[in-house]
């Protein structure tokens, strides 16, 4: 009876991975002899094989080398982008909405809310508001943020945080971006905004989140231009001061944008008939497509879908295409035209 009680008190050991390598069965058999109540589970998992080696080393101190040789080291995990390119993982959809003057129409708001809901189906989404472009024009960042909050609060969006890039270090910005669902980049001076995107690390932190994690990017005017391949389109109208000789002079950094748009497009906001000839002449300087946005249309990206969203769906004009002169070798370039402008913007960007 005492022997039976001692056997009942012996620990029960669950061994996984038996039979995976030539030396593993002998270790398992030794464990079986030492612990009669051992159960062998034929579910090989590399993680549990490590546990088997530790158990064998603990029970049989002289078998450490044999146990180590029996362990199969798992193949290093490839990067997420490598897996996405091979089709083994599904990439989160890219969600972007670009406008000339913000969420100024119900259809723009509806499209923005749809992207935000797709990112955060349950609970209140976290929105980071970037006011730097407007700050360059003397706007108070908190007043600008309050204006956006008044637009979004009726829809249950209350977690809106004002992040002035000029006053934010990269470490702090990275913390704010944790669990963020959207960045809303305000209109104003494009060059000023782009410089502080660089100084704060925004241009390093945000693009991977948009492309790989589904972070929603919402841009208005300057915020739309910065999302593109280049911000050189901001030179075309001459509205923005490029800041030559100032802290935010981009001459030494270049005029690349965040480059998060499908097809590596650029953006020209506040388009209208008065800018048509200018666009036709200046677009030949580029070797890629330019999205022309007036006040009545938004450019929306939702996964593989791209569209020019009308302000009034029932009166949507057919998008027109503007191409360079056929005499040039760049005549095949395409330009998205979002209708004609109804009004000039009140705030230059």
* pLDDT tens-place string over residues 23-32: 444 444 544 5
**Rounded mean pLDDT of 337-342?**
34
Going by C-beta distance under 8 Å and a sequence separation of 6 or more, which residues neighbour residue 30? 56, 59, 60, 63
Q: Which of 144-153, 183-192, 321-330 has the lowest mean pLDDT?
A: 321-330
Checking if the pLDDT of 47 tops 70, the result is: no
Q: Which of 63-72, 133-142, 269-278, 287-296 has the lowest mean pLDDT?
A: 63-72
Q: Which of 80-89, 200-209, 242-251 has the lowest mean pLDDT?
A: 80-89
Residue 122 is predicted with a pLDDT of: 86
Based on the number of CB atoms within 10 Å of its own CB, is 116 exposed (0-12), middle (13-18) or buried (19 or more)?
A: buried
pLDDT digits (tens, 9 = 90+) for 158-175: 999 999 999 999 999 999
pLDDT digits (tens, 9 = 90+) for 302-333: 998 999 988 553 332 333 333 333 332 322 32
**Rounded mean pLDDT of 170-198?**
97
Residue 9 is predicted with a pLDDT of: 54
**Rounded mean pLDDT of 227-250?**
96
340 against 202, higher pLDDT = 202
Residue 75 is predicted with a pLDDT of: 34
Checking if the pLDDT of 243 tops 80, the result is: yes
Checking if the pLDDT of 78 tops 60, the result is: no
Q: Which of 66-70, 264-268, 309-313 has the lowest mean pLDDT?
A: 66-70
pLDDT digits (tens, 9 = 90+) for 115-134: 999 999 987 899 999 999 99
Residue 123 is predicted with a pLDDT of: 77
**Rounded mean pLDDT of 93-101?**
96
17 against 229, higher pLDDT = 229
**Rounded mean pLDDT of 263-270?**
96
**Rounded mean pLDDT of 251-265?**
96
What gap in Å lies between CA 67 and CA 72, rounded to an integer?
10
Count of beta carbons in the 10 Å neighbourhood of residue 108 = 23
122 against 143, higher pLDDT = 143
* Residues 341, 295 contacting (CB under 8 angstroms): yes
Strands 290-292 and 126-130: unpaired
What gap in Å lies between CA 143 and CA 5, rounded to an integer?
77
Checking if the pLDDT of 147 tops 70, the result is: yes
Which percentage of the chain shows pLDDT scores above 70?
63
Checking if the pLDDT of 72 tops 90, the result is: no
Q: Any idea what the Cα angle at residue 77 is, between residues 76 and 82, rounded to 5°?
A: 125
């Amino acid at each position: 009876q005492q022997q039976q009680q001692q056997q009942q008190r012996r620990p029960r050991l669950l061994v996984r991975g038996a039979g995976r390598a030539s030396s593993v069965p002998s270790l398992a058999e030794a464990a079986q002899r030492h612990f009669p109540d051992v159960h062998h589970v034929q579910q090989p998992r590399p993680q549990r094989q490590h546990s088997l080696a530790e158990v064998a080393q603990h029970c049989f101190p002289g078998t450490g080398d044999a146990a180590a040789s029996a362990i199969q080291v798992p193949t290093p995990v490839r990067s997420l982008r490598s897996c996405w390119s091979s089709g083994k993982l599904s990439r989160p959809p890219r969600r972007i909405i670009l406008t000339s003057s913000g969420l100024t129409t119900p259809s723009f708001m509806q499209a923005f809310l749809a992207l935000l809901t797709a990112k955060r189906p349950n609970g209140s989404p976290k929105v980071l508001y970037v006011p730097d472009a407007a700050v360059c024009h003397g706007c108070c960042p908190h007043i600008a943020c309050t204006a956006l909050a008044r637009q979004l609060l009726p829809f249950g969006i209350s977690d809106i945080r004002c992040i002035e890039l000029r006053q934010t270090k990269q470490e702090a910005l990275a913390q704010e971006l944790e669990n963020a669902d959207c960045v809303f980049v305000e209109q104003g001076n494009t060059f000023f905004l782009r410089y502080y995107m660089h100084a704060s690390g925004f241009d390093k932190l945000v693009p991977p989140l948009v492309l790989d994690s589904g972070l929603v990017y919402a841009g208005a005017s300057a915020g739309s231009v910065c999302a593109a391949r280049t911000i050189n389109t901001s030179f075309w109208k001459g509205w923005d001061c490029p800041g030559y000789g100032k802290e935010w002079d981009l001459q030494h950094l270049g005029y690349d944008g965040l480059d998060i748009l499908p097809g590596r497009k650029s953006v020209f906001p506040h388009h209208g008939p008065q800018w048509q000839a200018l666009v036709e002449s200046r677009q030949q300087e580029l070797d890629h497509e330019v999205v022309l946005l007036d006040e009545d249309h938004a450019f929306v990206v939702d996964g593989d879908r791209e569209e020019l969203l009308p302000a009034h769906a029932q009166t949507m004009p057919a998008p027109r295409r503007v191409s360079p002169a056929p005499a040039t070798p760049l005549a095949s370039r395409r330009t998205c035209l979002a209708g004609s402008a109804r009004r000039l913007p009140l705030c230059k960007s």
